[in-house]
Amino acid sequence: MNTDNNINQTEMLCGFNDVRCFREQFSKLFGIKPSEYNKKYRSNLSNKHREIR
């Protein structure tokens, strides 16, 4: 969450070769899609960083 990596970049960094498989496993683990997770948590982190500055 503290990088600008997109889902495809994150998938590769995690060792997955198939984005569909990554998304399935991510959803099983976190209960939401990677894009939903990004929207929920990245925006919250961005707002917190703006407030600190």
- 7: which residues sit within 8 A by CB, 6+ positions away? 19, 22, 23, 34, 35, 38
What is the distance between the terminal CA atoms of the chain, rounded to a whole angstrom? 18
Q: In the prediction, which pLDDT does 7 show?
A: 87
Cα separation values, 12 from 15, 17, 31, 43, 50, Å: 5, 6, 21, 23, 29
50 pLDDT band (50/70/90 cuts)?
A: very low
- The percent of residues above 70 in pLDDT, for the chain, comes to 77
Q: In the prediction, which pLDDT does 38 show?
A: 86
Would the pTM count as exceeding 0.75? no
Tokens of residue 21, six digits: 């498989």
Q: In the prediction, which pLDDT does 51 show?
A: 47
